[in-house]
Structure formats: C-alpha cells, structure tokens
Amino acid sequence: MRGWLRRRFDAAYERLLRREISGAPAHVAVIQDGNRRYARERGEDPSDGHHAGAETTERVLDWCADLGVAELTLYAFSTENFERPREERERLFDLLEAKLREFADAERVHEQGVRIRAIGEVDRLPERVRDAVDYAERRTDGYDGFTLNVALAYGGRAELLGAARDVARAVDRGALDPDEVDVAEIESRLHDDRVRDVDLIVRTGGDERTSNFLPWHANGNEAAVFFCAPYWPAFSKVDFLRAIRTYESREASWQRAKAERALALVRAFGSVELGEARDVLARLRESLPAGADVDVEAEAESESRAD
C-alpha cells in the first residue's frame, strides 16, 4: 500500500479499535522479538535492529499511558541471550545501559511518576549495566504513577528455582513449616514481590511461544496471549490496540463462562443454595466488562420462581 494510503487506513483502523476498547489491562508484558530479522531484511547489522526496537519501546510507553495501562514488563535480555555472539551481546548491553539512563532522566518519566525496576539475575550483567539499573531504580524510587519492569538476565524457570531453593533453605533451618508454604511464601521469594499478575502477554515477530517469560505471574493469572507477525521495530499502535481488544474479548468470554458456571450451580443446588448463589451472580455481574453481560438477575429470578 502507498505510504499516505497506509497512514490513512491505519488512522481510521485506530479510531475504530479505540471505539471498541472500553478499558485496559493493568499489566502488559511484552516479548519484543524480531529485531535482527528486521535489520537483516534491510541489509543492516543486528544492533541496528535493537536500536530500532528501542524506539518502538519508547512509543509503547506512550501508548500505555494513553490507554491507562498501569504496569509494563519488557523482555529486554533473557538468560538465553547470554549465548549470543559476543559483539552483538556487548552492543546490546551498551544500548540497554544508554536507554536505562535516558529513561531515568526523561522529563516525562518524572512528570508521569514512572517507577523503573529491573527483574532478573542482575548480578550476571556487566558492571556498566548494573550501574545503570541502580541509577534508574534510585532516580525513580517512590514513584507510583506507572511501573516499568525491565526483565534483564531473566528466565522464568530460574526465577522459580531460586524461590524453591530459598524455601528449602528456610525449611532446613527450621524457619518455615513445609505445610505453610503457600502462594505468598513463593511470591515473597521471586525477583521482586511487587510485580503484579500479568493480564496480557504480547509477542511480536511471528513465533507463537512464551519463551520462559513470567510463568508465575502470567500462568497463575491465565493471562491472555497475543501473537503478531510484525517485527518489534515495526510494531504499530494498531497492533497494540488489537492486542488490547483480544485481551478484552478473552476477558469478557471468561467472565461470561464464570457467570454461566455460577448459574449452573444455582440449577444444580436449587433453593438451598439459591440466596448465596444469587449474591455471587450479582457480584459477577458488576465485574463483567461491557458486552459480556448476561442477565444474571433475571436468570436467578426465574430459578427462584421455579422452586
């Protein structure tokens, strides 16, 4: 499509998507994939792809603010990425260092109260990146307008293994009863216990896998997953809005399924449980997103008349 036509099409599609979206997921996590393929197709170096990707990252921060997303987690460097060629790795570390410092100094970060924090095995990173992490975390400490988590030297299994080992050590020294190991005990031993559950994972670049990313926070919460073909540097606002729409419709059908299960309970247990079930249904109805409404009161009424 010619450039101007494409822009007009995107603008119209963006307006349409905005009308269809009624809210935003609280926590979006992004697998920014496809930087090197983007560069390769242009005859450029892998590092050029990562630089172009970092520009997309900045745009996504604006889109999150615009839509009311409260927390964003970026998969910036995985434990697997340590295996990349030395030259690419070092240039990626240079970029991450520069971007962390740039974000920490950016006016809008201070205006919007963006808190930056790193999650991962940060002590495996070179000193210059660790210093930049420290700088960004200190400069934004105490902000609560928006949270930006940068996953660095991050691997989901390693995070869970770390927590499991920590629990085992606490049990071993008699500080913890194995029967008392619960969700909160594990969460307190993850990289950062303030990271909230993930609502939506977005992956660019066409691969349909979640690559060891936030298994505790995403799977426990049954996060929606949106895969799309564009490489990360080419990821557009339309793609982002489509991801949010996918989250909303998945959420709506999930809430509807929950309400329907509750209705099935009313039917199964009849009058004995009806009062309680009706309360549950009324609460569920309040939490239903637009478009997911089922007439729970009418359903419960007809059930009670049938008693």
Does residue 57 touch ligand FPP according to CB under 6 A? yes
193 is in an annotated binding site: no
H or E segment at 256?
Answer: helix 237-269
Could you tell me the smallest distance in angstroms from the CB atom of residue 33 to Mg ion? 4
Among Mg ion, ligand FPP, none, what does residue 204 contact (CB within 5–8 Å per kind)? none
Annotated catalytic residue, options 45, 81, 197, 212: 81
Q: Which residues contact 101 (CB under 8 A, 6 or more apart)?
A: 132, 135, 136
DSSP character at residue 211: T
H or E segment at 106?
Answer: none
Q: Which residues pair with 29 in a beta bridge?
A: 73, 201
Token pair 């990313």 is found at 213
Q: Of these, 25, 27, 28, 35, which contacts ligand FPP (CB under 6 A)?
A: 35
CA distance linking residue 46 with residue 11, whole number of Å? 30
Nearest to residue 250, comparing CAs of 201, 305, 300?
Answer: 201
Could you tell me the smallest distance in angstroms from the CB atom of residue 104 to ligand FPP? 10
Coil, strand or helix: which one is 305?
A: helix
Site for ligand FPP in 135-154 (CB under 6 A): 150
2 is in an annotated binding site: no
Binding mask 73-102 for ligand FPP (x = CB under 6 A): -x-x----x-------------xx--xx--
Q: For Mg ion, which is the closer residue by CB, 120 or 205?
A: 205
Task: Give the neighbor-by-neighbor strand order of the sheet with 200-203.
Answer: 114-119, 146-154, 71-78, 27-31, 200-203, 224-227
Binding span for ligand FPP by CB under 6 A among 6-14, 34-42, 178-186, 286-294? 34-42
81 annotated active-site: yes
Contacting residues toward ligand FPP, per CB under 6 A? 32-37, 50, 53-54, 57, 74, 76, 81, 95-96, 99-100, 150, 205
- Cite the annotated binding site for Mg(2+) by residue number: 33, 222
Catalytic residue list? 33, 81
